[in-house]
Amino acid sequence: MPWFRNLIHLPIATACKRSPSYKAVFPAASPPPPSLTQILLFSTQAASPTAAESGARRRTGGGVGQAGLGPTKGDEKPRVVVLGTGWAGCRLMKGIDTSIYDIVCVSPRNHMVFTPLLASTCVGTLEFRSVAEPIGRIQSAISREPNSYFFLANCSGIDFNNHVINCQTVTDGVETLDPWRFSIAYDKLVVAAGAKALTFGIKGVEEHAIFLREVHHAQEIRRKLLLNLMLSDVPGVSEEEKRRLLHCVVVGGGPTGVEFSGELSDFIKRDVHQRYAHVKDYIHVTLIEANEILSSFDDRLRTYATKQLTKSGVRLVRGVVKDVLAEKIILSDGTEVPYGLLVWSTGVGPSSFVESLNIPKVRGRIGIDEWLRAPSVEDVFAIGDCSGFLETTGKPVLPALAQVAERQGKYLATLLNRVGKAGGGKASAAKDINLGDQFVYRHLGSMATIGRYKALVDLRQSKEGKGVSIAGFTSWFIWRSAYLTRVISWRNRFYVAINWLTTFVFGRDISRI
């Protein structure tokens, strides 16, 4: 039903249709997004450089295998290079006017993750594809326009003086493919490379714990949980080993840790009790937090959450993890906690890529001014979790939240479109152009689900402010409705609604695929 597919794609494709060259550029049957093979082919072709590319190559100092995209020529559209396909990068790309700019996106994943619903995929409440949106559906110009591309790669360095980034392909362990290095010249560069999970240097976390940031993490958690459930049922497994295998430990009592614990306890109460009745008395969830859980919420909501979590069987432990071993963690008071599944969610810090950039930082994040520029270098912007306002702006470093990243992406798309329309799209051409209003962030509130059809909703600007702050079933309904409307596309909205309905009627999917 192509007419139906077109109908539901409409909002996503709008930006491209605005392009005057829409008809000419989009063939009737559009090609699929570039594959890794195409990427490598592209790079190989580019290895026979044009004069401009030779220039770019010389400037980046690239050697053999350092092919790439040279600077844009006078008659070409300016090129915006975007690093990252998270909340910030995707919202930016969705808003870029592709009649003004070509977009080149570099990221180690070809989709955006709708992180607020990621915890639900770990136990089968939602399917993985329901929370992943392919980049080509967010900005279709990337798969269709001749000079716009998506490259499955990591940016490994930036030559700010020469407007060039260096990249390396991601081969996901495919042994026949060596990582390929290439470079891309930019007119405007937007760094939206996010952050990485904090481990505080605790030994063993990287090796034994699972983070919850990407779809592959959720897949790993689900497989491990189901494997442990099945192993614990095997004849001959000792009582002690059964208890260990079925002890799920979550470290970090922020919204992500609490939401995951709530989902897990729902899964145990409803699905494990019915379908793994032999082991139902052995499975437990422990949530370890060094301070208060949900410290961003006020006392009343925190107390409510603590009560509900305890009621649903989650053990709350106040403690500091000192060491993580293969089958147990050790707390700073010497307590040993055996586990079968360990999920680590203790906040985020700067990634090694951001750390490696030689520009001013604020708490490890790229320092930005009121217009989200990295002011010490030309034509470079930073948005989302990887950026923070410089002290000179007098603004606080904003929290690592999707609502911050998304609004920065939206703001920057408008700014770049304005600059492009005023003729400042090319490298070093925006010096005298008015950038318009500064970016202003207004917090819309926080929400967290705690399982058993309960959630917390706090729509106040701050813990002390006036406004709606409620907990319970109504909040849960608001939480679900809000996120259903925020899911990126109609396709995924449909998936999410159907998954919720299926889970409600038939229970969660417990097949270990």
Interface positions with ligand FAD (CB under 6 A): 83-89, 106-109, 115-116, 118-119, 154-155, 192-194, 212-213, 256, 351, 353, 384-386, 400-403, 405
Rounded least distance, CB 249 to ligand FAD, Å: 17
Q: Which is nearer to ligand FAD, 19 or 156 (CB)?
A: 156
Largest CA distance in the chain: 76
Which amino acid is located at 69 in the chain? Answer: L
| Token pair for 284 | 């437990």
Q: Which residues have CB under 8 Å from 28's CB, separation 6+? A: none
Q: Which is nearer to ligand FAD, 95 or 424 (CB)?
A: 95
Q: Which residues have CB under 8 Å from 110's CB, separation 6+? A: 33, 85, 134, 135, 136, 150, 152
Q: Torsions phi, psi of 326, nearest 5?
A: -60, -35
Rounded least distance, CB 296 to ligand FAD, Å: 11
Q: Which is nearer to ligand FAD, 105 or 288 (CB)?
A: 105
Q: Which is nearer to ligand FAD, 89 or 451 (CB)?
A: 89
Rounded least distance, CB 348 to ligand FAD, Å: 8
Q: Which is nearer to ligand FAD, 123 or 246 (CB)?
A: 123
Question: Residue 318: how many CA atoms within 13 Å on its side-chain side?
Answer: 5
Q: What span, in angstroms and rounded, lies between the C-alpha atoms of 219 and 128?
A: 8
Q: Which is nearer to ligand FAD, 26 or 371 (CB)?
A: 371
Tell me the residue nearest to ligand FAD as measured from the CB: 86
Rounded least distance, CB 507 to ligand FAD, Å: 23
Rounded least distance, CB 72 to ligand FAD, Å: 20
| Token pair for 464 | 């002390």
**Is residue 472 classed as helix, strand or coil in its secondary structure?**
strand
Give one DSSP letter per residue of 144-200, joined into a string: HSTT-EEEEEEEEEEEGGGTEEEEEE--TT-TT----EEEEE-SEEEE----EE--T
Strand partners, 330: 323, 336
Give Rg (Cα) of the chain: 24
Nearest Cα to Cα of residue 458 among 475, 440, 436:
475
What residue spans of 439-489 are helical by DSSP H? 473-486
| Token pair for 324 | 């993580």
Rounded least distance, CB 193 to ligand FAD, Å: 4
Q: For 365-439, where are the E strands, in sequence order?
A: 365-368, 380-382, 387-389
Q: Which is nearer to ligand FAD, 38 or 356 (CB)?
A: 356
Nearest Cα to Cα of residue 184 among 166, 204, 168:
166
Rounded to the nearest 10 degrees, what angle do helices 255-267 and 299-311 cross at? Answer: 30
Strands 365-368 and 387-389, sheet pairing: parallel
Q: What span, in angstroms and rounded, lies between the C-alpha atoms of 164 and 480?
A: 43
**Is residue 363 classed as helix, strand or coil in its secondary structure?**
coil
Q: Which is nearer to ligand FAD, 322 or 486 (CB)?
A: 486
CB atoms within 10 A of CB 425: 25
Q: Which is nearer to ligand FAD, 149 or 276 (CB)?
A: 149
Q: What span, in angstroms and rounded, lies between the C-alpha atoms of 212 and 341?
A: 13
Residue 359 CA: distances (Å) to CA of 161, 185, 391, 428, 496 = 12, 19, 14, 18, 41
Which amino acid is located at 416 in the chain? Answer: L
Rounded least distance, CB 234 to ligand FAD, Å: 32
Question: Residue 393: how many CA atoms within 13 Å on its side-chain side?
Answer: 20
Rounded least distance, CB 191 to ligand FAD, Å: 8
